[in-house]
A and B are shown apart, each in its own frame.
Chain A
Amino acid sequence: MPRLLHLSDVHLGARHPGLGASAPKLRERQVAALRRAIDAGIEARVDVTLVAGDLFDSNAQPRRMVEAAAIELRRLTERGIRVVLIPGIHDSWEGGSIYRVFDLRLMAGLSEGSDLLTVLTPNRTEVLFRDLDLLVYGRVATTRRVGRSPLADFTVLADDRARWRVAMVHGTIVGAADDDREDVRFTAEEIAASGVDYLAIGHAHGWHTGRSGGTVWTAPGSVEALEPEDEDAGRVAIVELAERSGRKSVEVSEAVVGRTRFSSLTLDAAEFVTPAALVTRLRTLADPDVVLDVTLRGVAQAWLDVDPAALSAGLADAFLAVRLRDDSQAAAPGATDAAPGSFERTFQDVLATHIASADAAHDARTAADARAAVHLGRQLLADPRQAGLI
């Protein structure tokens, strides 16, 4: 009975604008995750590997990226494992699709007539593996954004060319009340009507699986988490098509191949007087697989001028990346011991007036700057040479 490896959304060459200097590391991790996904397939002795779209993040990827993917896929084909791919939304079939410009089959060292690697397209919608008694359909949209469901009017119930019928699609299962947010959409009813034994779905970045009618479907998600929302990412599906007591059985299990995690942490700025204290605190949470989003909230009791770049560089060995969002606000100038008319008192009074007028004008930035200036001025006056103050 056929055994399948189902993966999707590798997004090779993806941009990670929020990661700055750590972005290339995540790109390398994506290639490594693809490698581990293929290792998982080889270990599970699968017969066919289904790549359900968005293997590449865009159609403008350089040749070396395509070659890198072909090298990994070749590890499967060298073992006689068939590979079937469909274009997704990012690497869609339209225009200069990467699958139209590059011949993955040739790049994987296969001959033109080989069925070891097949890219299903709007022009070639299926591939039949007679020895496996398996027919794979590709429901590929011609453009990124289609008005019609790729599963509309799709049914294989009358197709008896193979015992096992599997379909691949890149899109999102939506309900009837769904709005127009998703580019490629289809419904659970359409899945049920398709009549395929297994539907391999791509597009979602988290793990989802279920059954609609007689069809088992899985969206394994991206092989590596790419965004904070990718909570269940980093998985591939191992699908076993079997006969149990004369009835078809589709069993889906997951294999974890991704390592990157996105974590968020909210800290009270009041706990920290210096950026060094913040770094010390974050070091206690060190994990090189984690992209840590730190949010500073609350009221800072000191001039806490954290340079995000310096913070990220200082923790480069502790985390995959550290991103800081400073939503904290400097404390408003409070009661002072300084005598009225004294310099310090005047300094604070001037800034208090500044803050009040900024607040009245709803100029939050100026008010925040003035609050920060209060703390900076106080600290400078107390100890101008305080390390890291300026």
Chain B
Amino acid sequence: MRITSLHIQGIRQLADLELAPVAGLTVIRGANESGKSTIQTALEMVLFHDPTSIAPALLDLRTWGTTTDPRVRLEFEHEGRAGSLEKVFAGARGSVELSFGGTVSRDPDEVRAIVADITGLASEEFLRSTASVRHGELDDLDQDALRDRLQRSISGAGEGTQAAHRLLAEAVLRYRGDGGEGSGRIDRTRDELERTRAALVAGETSLAQLERDRSALALAHDRRADLDARLVRDQEQVEVSERAMRLLTSATESEARYMRLRQAADLQERINAAERSHPLPMPLPELRARTQRIKELQFQIQELEVLSELRGVAPSGSVKTVRPPRWQPLALAAIVALVAAIAVAAAVSVVGLLPGLETWGLAAAGILLLAALVFGLMSLRKARRVRLAKAQAQMQAAEIDRRLQGKGQEDEQLRDARRERDALLTVIGVPDVYAADTLLERAAAHNAGVDELRAEQRGLLAGVEVTGDVIAERDRAAAEMEQSRHVLSALGGAGIDPAALREQALRTLQGTQTEREAAIQDEGLAQGRVDQNEVDAEQVALLAERIPALEEQLAAMERRVRVYDLTLATLDVAEGDTVKQAARYLEERMGDDVARITDGRYRQVRVDEHDLSFEVWSPELPGWVAVQQLSEGTLDQVYLAARLGLVRQVTQGRRPPLIFDDPFVTFDDDRAARSAAVLKDLAADHQVLLLTASDRYDDIADAVVQLPTPAARDTDGPSADRLPQMLSGGSLTTGANGAGPHRSASWPTLDVTDRAPWVVAG
């Protein structure tokens, strides 16, 4: 690439400058502050700066006192084709236009890529590290800094690489930590993951235990419910057995009652049969009364028959009259004795007639009283005998009268008696009194047998409640007995031996109660275990849900760090490889340049690929000498040679323009001349722009451009409003060697003051 025209507008003190560098070495000469470094900056800007950048540093480049946006236009030739590149730096309004090879591009990235392709310089950093050597860049740096810079230059790694390296290292440190426990994010995440996993395992274990506990609780609950049911059944069994016992008792009683009733019924049937086979047509009392009557009538008949016989045999005067006894004397004697007793007693006790004989008097009175009593009783007895005798006498008299009244009446009575007796015998069904009496005896005996049966029946039924007919009662008892037996048989075994069953049922019930109590206790314990297990399924779920996120997070971190590591390692490898290649290349190419610059004093250069330290072969020793041991000027020359070599290396077949801003100011005149000669040689392949304040390179230059010297002077002291006037003006003049037009040297002379920001650029 060869620049054919460079037009700079509105950048620092260069309000409007147009240059036309030649193909070889173009020396752009100007006094201090004439804008030499600004030209270098403008070249860097047009090649690599983003025109839309709003970086303050870029905007600060605007020419003081103007609002014109910085603009740089470059016309060039590359591989026989002309092109142009123009950039206007206006922040977001900035623009770029590259016209080359028949195409026009306005895309900053595309333009950047094309520029990189044309120049062989990937970036501005690369340009600055190789093809653009700034004023004082070599002599202002200490040796270590210089080496670092050179290292970056050789490796192609600019600030971006270092920043990338630093960012990656910091990120890796952030993720991996400094080796301390849990100091990195990965460790912390891994720890959290492990803790979460452990908590999940514990949670799952607790949940499994909870399920087991709940299962045990359910089983205990079911078992208790079963035992509740069993208890009810057992209680029912006890009740059944007790009922069976009652039924059995009842059945036994029914059977006993039935047996007695059955016997009683048998007796009743015998009684009934006996009553049905009674020998008389009438009840026994009637028979007895009739028989008695028959016997009385028979006696009467016999008496009448005797009388009748007597009336016919004995006279009536034969009846003896009985004289009645007398009772009155005895009654009189009793009265007398009584009176006497009263008199004696009165005399003794009341009148006192017999003093001293009171005892005897009283005794006599007593005896008299006793005698009166005896005589009284005897008189009463005699009086009764008298009444009996009188009655007998009256009867005898009446009999005698009756007998005497007539025989026809007696015959009548006899006939009536006989008739009545015969009628009664007929009723009874016997021929005579004897037979009647016999019949009566038989009937009495029959009734006695029946009575005996009844007595036996009463004995059987003692204590047995019988309402009504015994036979019916027996039948009822039989039915009851049958029913009891049926119920018992329906109870199965219980009906056979209810007592044993009850005993067994009670034992079973007791066992069930014991089991139930144990089951209740088990249920309580199981419930307790469930209640004590405080695991929360939702919390465990949160853990389970957290783990995949943590795993994903950890995997992402690990991948990230792997990529960081790989990137970092590759940066190091790339840097190392690049440096290694560069070191070998430099060793090959620097020797000639160093020899030329040092006039053959040093011809061999050795580059350490690790620390990029340079050594030169010292002919005095002879041996290798570290460049740091050489003079500062020689050191600068070595590094200049190194950079020139680098340019050759990194641009390979491409030929970017090289820009040098007074790199030889620390060189003595000879070495400066020799260095310039090197540049001259370099200019055979590259377009070289040498910015300098000196005219000592004019002779070797293919063209010289003289920049106008600022002429303004601050005669009135600081006054900002005058600055635009000071920076304006001037015109281009054509250099002595026929180079392109340049501004005339009519610029006002300007003192360097600390108010001028561009002084740092030289």
Binding site for B on A (CB under 8 A): 13-21, 23-24, 27, 58-62, 65, 95-98, 100-101, 303, 305, 307-309, 337-344, 346-347, 349-351, 354, 369-370, 372-373, 376-377, 380-385, 389-390
* Contact B160–A342 (Cβ < 8 Å): no
* Contact B577–A17 (Cβ < 8 Å): no
Residue numbers in B under 8 Å from A14 (CB-CB)? 541
* Contact B155–A339 (Cβ < 8 Å): no
- 10 more A-B residue pairs beyond the given contacts A96-B217, A381-B160, A390-B167, with a C-beta to C-beta distance below 8 A: A27-B541, A65-B537, A95-B211, A96-B211, A100-B214, A101-B214, A338-B122, A344-B574, A380-B167, A390-B168
Q: How far is the CA of A95 from the CA of B541 in the complex (A)?
A: 21
CB distance from A297 to the nearest CB of B (A): 17
* Contact A342–B650 (Cβ < 8 Å): yes
A-B pairs, 3 with minimum CB distance: A96-B214, A343-B156, A380-B164
Is B358 among interface residues, defined by CB-CB distance under 8 A? no
* Contact B559–A369 (Cβ < 8 Å): yes
* Contact B549–A350 (Cβ < 8 Å): no
* Contact A351–B570 (Cβ < 8 Å): yes
* Contact A96–B212 (Cβ < 8 Å): yes
Spot the interface stretch: B304-312, B435-443, B561-569, B712-720.
B561-569
| Interchain CB contact (< 8 A) of B573 among A58, A350, A369 | A350
Contact A369-B562, Cβ < 8 Å, known A62-B537, A344-B156, A381-B161: yes
Residue numbers in A under 8 Å from B168 (CB-CB)? 380, 390
Binding site for A on B (CB under 8 A): 113, 116-117, 120, 122, 126, 155-157, 160-161, 163-164, 167-168, 171, 207, 210-218, 221-222, 530, 535-538, 541-542, 544-549, 552-553, 556, 559-560, 562-564, 566-567, 570-571, 573-575, 577-578, 581-582, 585, 649-652, 654
* Contact A342–B156 (Cβ < 8 Å): yes
| Interchain CB contact (< 8 A) of A339 among B120, B574, B585 | B120
Residue numbers in A under 8 Å from B217 (CB-CB)? 96, 101
Q: Can you list 27 pairs linking A and B with CB atoms under 8 Å apart? A: A15-B541, A19-B545, A23-B542, A24-B542, A59-B211, A65-B538, A95-B211, A96-B210, A96-B214, A101-B530, A308-B549, A339-B120, A341-B578, A342-B122, A342-B126, A342-B578, A342-B650, A343-B157, A369-B562, A373-B563, A373-B567, A373-B570, A377-B571, A380-B163, A380-B167, A382-B160, A390-B167
Residue numbers in B under 8 Å from A303 (CB-CB)? 563
Contact A61-B548, Cβ < 8 Å, known A97-B218, A100-B218, A343-B578: no
Q: How far is the CA of A376 from the CA of B113 in the complex (A)?
A: 19
Residue numbers in B under 8 Å from A354 (CB-CB)? 566, 570
CB distance from B398 to the nearest CB of A (A): 109
CB distance from B233 to the nearest CB of A (A): 18
Contact A308-B552, Cβ < 8 Å, known A96-B212, A373-B567: yes
* Contact B156–A380 (Cβ < 8 Å): no
* Contact A347–B570 (Cβ < 8 Å): yes
* Contact B574–A385 (Cβ < 8 Å): no
B582 to A, closest residue via Cβ: A341
CB distance from B246 to the nearest CB of A (A): 34
* Contact B556–A307 (Cβ < 8 Å): yes
A312 to B, closest residue via Cβ: B549
Contact A377-B570, Cβ < 8 Å, known A23-B541, A309-B549: yes
* Contact B214–A59 (Cβ < 8 Å): yes
Residue numbers in B under 8 Å from A338 (CB-CB)? 116, 122
| Interchain CB contact (< 8 A) of B218 among A95, A373, A384 | A95
Contact A384-B544, Cβ < 8 Å, known A62-B537, A95-B218, A339-B122: no
Contact A373-B216, Cβ < 8 Å, known A20-B549, A27-B538, A339-B650: no
| Interchain CB contact (< 8 A) of B163 among A24, A27, A385 | A385
Interface of A, helix, strand, loop or mixed by DSSP: helix
Residue numbers in A under 8 Å from B547 (CB-CB)? 17
Of listed B535, B582, B649, B650, residue having the most chain A CB within 10 A: B650
| Interchain CB contact (< 8 A) of A13 among B116, B541, B549, B651 | B541
Q: How far is the CA of A340 from the CA of B168 in the complex (A)?
A: 25
Residue numbers in B under 8 Å from A350 (CB-CB)? 570, 573-574, 577
* Contact A341–B214 (Cβ < 8 Å): no
* Contact B553–A96 (Cβ < 8 Å): no
Q: How far is the CA of A370 from the CA of B171 in the complex (A)?
A: 18
* Contact A337–B567 (Cβ < 8 Å): no
| Interchain CB contact (< 8 A) of A337 among B116, B207, B566, B649 | B116
CB distance from B113 to the nearest CB of A (A): 6
Q: How far is the CA of A106 from the CA of B549 in the complex (A)?
A: 40
| Interchain CB contact (< 8 A) of B214 among A15, A95, A347 | A95
* Contact B578–A95 (Cβ < 8 Å): no
CB distance from A132 to the nearest CB of B (A): 29
A20 to B, closest residue via Cβ: B549
Residue numbers in A under 8 Å from B161 (CB-CB)? 343, 381
* Contact B211–A384 (Cβ < 8 Å): no
* Contact A62–B654 (Cβ < 8 Å): no
CB distance from A187 to the nearest CB of B (A): 32
CB distance from A307 to the nearest CB of B (A): 6
CB distance from A92 to the nearest CB of B (A): 11
* Contact A308–B553 (Cβ < 8 Å): yes
CB distance from B205 to the nearest CB of A (A): 12
CB distance from A330 to the nearest CB of B (A): 9
B560 to A, closest residue via Cβ: A305
Contact A384-B167, Cβ < 8 Å, known A60-B210, A65-B537, A344-B122: yes
Q: How far is the CA of A385 from the CA of B573 in the complex (A)?
A: 22
* Contact A337–B117 (Cβ < 8 Å): yes
Residue numbers in A under 8 Å from B216 (CB-CB)? 96
Contact A61-B537, Cβ < 8 Å, known A17-B544, A97-B218, A350-B574: yes
Contact A341-B650, Cβ < 8 Å, known A370-B566, A372-B563: yes
Residue numbers in B under 8 Å from A385 (CB-CB)? 163
Residue numbers in A under 8 Å from B573 (CB-CB)? 346, 350
B652 to A, closest residue via Cβ: A339
| Interchain CB contact (< 8 A) of B213 among A96, A370, A384 | A96
Residue numbers in B under 8 Å from A58 (CB-CB)? 537
Of listed A340, A346, A383, residue having the most chain B CB within 10 A: A346
| Interchain CB contact (< 8 A) of B577 among A95, A100, A346 | A346
CB distance from A364 to the nearest CB of B (A): 12
Residue numbers in A under 8 Å from B556 (CB-CB)? 305, 307-309
* Contact B574–A383 (Cβ < 8 Å): no
Residue numbers in A under 8 Å from B649 (CB-CB)? 341
B157 to A, closest residue via Cβ: A343
Q: How far is the CA of A383 from the CA of B408 in the complex (A)?
A: 191
Of listed A14, A21, A339, residue having the most chain B CB within 10 A: A339
CB distance from A326 to the nearest CB of B (A): 9
Contact A341-B581, Cβ < 8 Å, known A20-B549, A23-B541, A96-B216: yes
Q: How far is the CA of A338 from the CA of B604 in the complex (A)?
A: 30
Contact A309-B120, Cβ < 8 Å, known A346-B578, A380-B167: no
| Interchain CB contact (< 8 A) of A16 among B214, B222, B545, B564 | B545
Residue numbers in B under 8 Å from A344 (CB-CB)? 122, 156, 574
* Contact B537–A60 (Cβ < 8 Å): yes
Residue numbers in B under 8 Å from A21 (CB-CB)? 545-546, 549
Residue numbers in B under 8 Å from A384 (CB-CB)? 160, 163-164, 167
Q: How far is the CA of A312 from the CA of B117 in the complex (A)?
A: 43
* Contact A347–B538 (Cβ < 8 Å): no
Contact A17-B164, Cβ < 8 Å, known A338-B122, A343-B578, A376-B563: no
CB distance from B168 to the nearest CB of A (A): 7
Residue numbers in A under 8 Å from B571 (CB-CB)? 347, 377
* Contact A60–B215 (Cβ < 8 Å): no
Q: How far is the CA of A65 from the CA of B210 in the complex (A)?
A: 15
* Contact A15–B545 (Cβ < 8 Å): yes
Residue numbers in A under 8 Å from B155 (CB-CB)? 343
CB distance from A94 to the nearest CB of B (A): 8
CB distance from A212 to the nearest CB of B (A): 35
CB distance from B523 to the nearest CB of A (A): 12
CB distance from A60 to the nearest CB of B (A): 5
Q: How far is the CA of A14 from the CA of B549 in the complex (A)?
A: 17
